[in-house]
């Protein structure tokens, strides 16, 4: 935006367009009501957000001017000016950045759909102190002005265009857009202060807020009273160019808020300068909470690329692999051309070198955190472990390091365990790492497939991220111990020494099951691959398992859900020779293998096993009929 120092320019012809009054989208109105009428403990963040937006506008114009220098012609000194007028009860934040046209105003200030309005509104709890911490997280920084404003007015002109526009609203359901007059490109935001918030018109107070939140902004921020002389309120030096020893924890935190547009505190800070063949600086942050769009299919890194302190892009840079997309921050290269395009970035050897350096530094930091503070690392893993494991599946060169960082729920611990923890607790005679995959750890822990493992005291890893079904078979082995799903057949637990105080095993005579197994196979036909006596079940009557060479049950379920498979494979039905129901059926089959009750029992056993796997029964009507018939018979 132009200030007193800008050169006067010829006024464009006045637009003949008329003023329009438009309504906010419904969710936008609700959001503004919450922002405007809740009691916040740190209202001063509104200034931080307005300054941050002005800085972004200057950054974007500086980038566009690399290829279209006429956009910044005659006014290449980017700046942000804050002016207070106590008499008029207004605070103005002006920049000479990219500016907006009418469509930009409607898109950016009439809706925040691109920033996830629904997700934001659903996150609000009514707890004002908690709600205010979300400001900025979903790109709603501009609207924080309504915490202190009776009304807000925006006058703006897009670089390279002749028309200026005014946006105004009291935040109560609608906004007005009309032609305006403005000399030069940029945006001026005027906040008409509420009586209760006139304290923010104090110059000394504003100077402190700028120092606390925006000192790192790489453009000069001037502060002046109406009619007074502007004074620079920030140092104007890019934070990432300073030595680590000169940057405080608070400065890192506020820069994180600025660059990440998130309101949590960073979980970890990586600030380094790589010199040598490739020269670049990086200031990267690991958030302490999940970004709301972390798992969107088109999600990409939001690490900003600068070249010689000039902002280039924050999209498709190739600087961060997809499995580190939770990183926020900036990378500033001395070895890329200022006019580098996104297409050039993808294949540029300098980009590949920087990417490798970022990956190494990030994993070094994560390994150190995992060693020094396992509890804190567990918190990180709950937020971002599923993303990090994508790097194992994608064949990253750091696969071994990533596998060692992995943490899991297990049947032997209430917390998270590493593979090193698991191997260190393996029982005598155990030479495989057992796991089970599914959607929910609590449900998996109750699976009948675990009964024999639990009886032997064998720990089983509970894997609940979809990517687990893909990377585990790919890795196959950890420290010469093969991964094995407990939902597959072929698990020989007899060689594993059980717990010392195990009760003597019930040596059920499996040979007695011959007639029953034959009757069940005859009744079910091709619906099952085989029927076998089970060595894994101790309490349940039946379970389904995959063949030794077949696809894991949960993997097949995922592929069917994504239409990659048309139908379920036939599974092995295992029956428990020690269960009272199976013993009774075995006696009936021994006496009369063609008894009609055995056919109904066979189907009920299969449906029971399907239900235990979380699968629907194939024929609910027949299931109900058979169940009613058996229950009636049981009642005499």
- Render pLDDT for 338-359 as a digit per residue (tens, 0 to 9): 777 666 776 788 998 999 999 9
Pairwise CA distance, residues 82 & 48, whole Å: 12
Within its chain, how far is the Cα of 275 from the centroid? 32
Q: At what angle do helices 596-612 and 580-591 cross, to 10 degrees?
A: 150
Pairwise CA distance, residues 431 & 13, whole Å: 82
Pairwise CA distance, residues 78 & 93, whole Å: 14
Pairwise CA distance, residues 251 & 90, whole Å: 28
Predicted local distance difference test score (pLDDT) of residue 635: 84
545-559 CB burial, b ≥16 within 10 A, e <16:
bbeeebbbbbbbbbe
Pairwise CA distance, residues 604 & 67, whole Å: 72
Which structure tokens are listed for 339? 């006019």
From the candidate CATH numbers 3.40.30.10, 3.30.230.80, 1.10.1040.10, 3.60.10.10, the one assigned to the domain spanning 240-372: 3.30.230.80
Predicted local distance difference test score (pLDDT) of residue 10: 47
Q: Under the phi-then-psi rule, with left for phi > 0, alpha for psi from -120 to 50, and beta for the rest, what region is 525?
A: left
- Map out the domains of the chain as residue ranges: 20-234, 240-372, 407-485, 510-634
Within its chain, how far is the Cα of 138 from the centroid? 13
201 near 192, Cβ under 8 Å? no
Q: What are the tens digits of pLDDT across the range 599-633? A: 999 999 999 999 988 888 889 999 999 999 888 88
DSSP string, 506-531: ----GGGGHHHHHHHHHHHGGGEEEE
Pairwise CA distance, residues 331 & 345, whole Å: 13
Low-confidence stretches of the chain (pLDDT < 70) are: 1-17, 24-41, 110-140, 296-301, 341-343, 346, 395-396, 499-510, 636
Q: At what angle do helices 620-634 and 596-612 cross, to 10 degrees?
A: 120
For residue 495, give the nearest of 554, 432, 424 by alpha carbon: 432
Predicted local distance difference test score (pLDDT) of residue 134: 41
Q: Does domain 407-485 have CATH number 3.40.462.10?
A: no
Strand order in the sheet with 266-274: 266-274, 280-287, 328-333, 304-307, 310-313
Predicted local distance difference test score (pLDDT) of residue 114: 40
Which structure tokens are listed for 531? 């029927």
Provide the CATH topology of domain 20-234.
Heat Shock Protein 90 (3.30.565)
CATH superfamily of 510-634: Heat shock protein 90, C-terminal domain (1.20.120.790)
Q: What is the DSSP letter of 315?
A: S
Could you tell me the CA-to-CA distances from 456 to 282, 437, 486, 540, 545 in Å, in that order? Answer: 51, 20, 14, 16, 19
Prediction pTM value: 0.72
Which structure tokens are listed for 357? 């350096």
Measure the CA angle with vertex 567, ends 563 and 572; round to 5°.
135
Predicted local distance difference test score (pLDDT) of residue 399: 93
Q: What is the DSSP letter of 226?
A: T
Kind plus residue range of the DSSP H or E element containing 477: strand 477-478
Q: What are the tens digits of pLDDT across the range 110-159? A: 654 343 444 444 555 555 434 444 443 334 578 888 889 999 999 999 99
Predicted local distance difference test score (pLDDT) of residue 17: 67
Could you tell me the CA-to-CA distances from 437 to 130, 175, 434, 449, 530 in Å, in that order? Answer: 35, 51, 10, 12, 23
């Amino acid at each position: 935006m132009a200030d007193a120092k800008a050169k006067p320019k010829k006024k464009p012809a006045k637009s003949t367009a008329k003023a329009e009054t438009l309504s906010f989208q419904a969710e936008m109105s609700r959001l503004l009501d919450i922002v405007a009428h809740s009691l916040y403990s740190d209202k001063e963040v509104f200034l931080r957000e307005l300054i941050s937006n002005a800085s972004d506008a200057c950054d974007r114009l500086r980038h566009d001017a690399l290829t279209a220098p006429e956009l910044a012609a005659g006014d290449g000194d980017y700046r942000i000016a804050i002016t207070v007028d106590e008499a008029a009860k207004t605070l103005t934040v002006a920049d000479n950045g990219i500016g907006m046209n009418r469509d930009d105003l409607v898109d950016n200030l009439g809706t925040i759909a691109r920033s996830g309005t629904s997700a934001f509104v659903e996150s609000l709890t009514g707890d004002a102190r908690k709600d205010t911490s979300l400001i900025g997280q979903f790109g709603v920084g501009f609207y924080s002005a309504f915490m202190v404003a009776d009304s807000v007015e925006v006058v703006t002109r897009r670089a390279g265009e002749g028309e200026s526009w005014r946006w105004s609203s009291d935040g109560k359901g609608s906004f007005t857009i009309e032609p305006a007059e403005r000399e030069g490109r940029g945006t001026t935001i005027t906040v008409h202060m509420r009586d209760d918030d006139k304290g923010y018109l104090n110059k000394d107070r504003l100077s402190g807020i700028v120092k606390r939140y925006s000192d790192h902004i790489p453009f000069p921020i001037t502060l002046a009273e109406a009619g007074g002389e502007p004074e620079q309120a920030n140092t104007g030096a890019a934070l990432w160019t300073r030595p680590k020893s000169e940057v405080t924890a608070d400065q890192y935190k506020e820069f994180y808020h600025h660059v990440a547009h998130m309101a949590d505190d960073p979980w970890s800070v990586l600030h380094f300068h790589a010199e040598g063949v490739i020269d670049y600086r990086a200031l990267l942050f690991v958030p302490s909470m999940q970004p709301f769009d972390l798992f969107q299919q088109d999600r990409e890194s939001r690490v900003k690329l600068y070249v010689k302190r000039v902002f280039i892009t924050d999209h498709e840079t190739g600087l961060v692999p997809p499995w580190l997309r939770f990183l926020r921050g900036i990378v500033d290269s001395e070895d890329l051309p200022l006019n580098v395009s996104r297409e050039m970035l993808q294949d540029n050897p300098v980009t590949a070198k920087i990417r490798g350096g970022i990956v190494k530094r990030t994993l070094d930091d994560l390994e150190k955190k995992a060693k020094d503070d396992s509890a804190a690392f567990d918190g990180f893993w709950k937020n971002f472990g599923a993303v990090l494991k994508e790097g194992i599946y994608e064949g990253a060169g750091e696969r071994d390091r990533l596998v060692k960082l992995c943490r899991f729920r297990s049947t032997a611990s209430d917390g998270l365990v590493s593979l090193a923890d698991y191997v260190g607790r393996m029982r005598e005679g155990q030479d495989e790492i057992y796991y089970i995959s599914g959607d929910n750890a609590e449900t998996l822990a109750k699976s009948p497939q675990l009964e024999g493992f639990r009886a032997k005291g064998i720990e089983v890893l509970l894997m609940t991220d979809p990517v687990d079904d893909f990377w585990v078979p790919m890795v196959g082995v950890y420290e010469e111990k093969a991964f094995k799903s407990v939902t597959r057949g072929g698990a020989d637990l007899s060689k594993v020494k059980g717990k010392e105080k195990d009760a003597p095993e019930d040596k059920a005579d499996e040979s007695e099951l011959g007639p029953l197994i034959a009757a069940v196979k005859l009744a079910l036909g091709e619906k099952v691959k085989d029927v076998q006596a089970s060595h894994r079940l101790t309490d349940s009557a039946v379970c389904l398992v995959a063949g030794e060479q077949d696809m894991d049950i949960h993997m097949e379920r995922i592929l069917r859900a994504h239409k990659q498979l048309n139908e379920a494979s036939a599974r092995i039905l295992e029956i428990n020779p020690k269960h009272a129901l199976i013993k009774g059926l075995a006696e009936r089959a021994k006496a009369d293998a063609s008894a009609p009750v055995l056919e109904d029992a066979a189907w009920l056993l299969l449906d029971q096993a399907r239900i235990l796997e979380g699968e629907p029964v194939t024929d609910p009507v027949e299931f109900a009929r058979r169940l009613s018939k058996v229950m009636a018979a049981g009642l005499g």
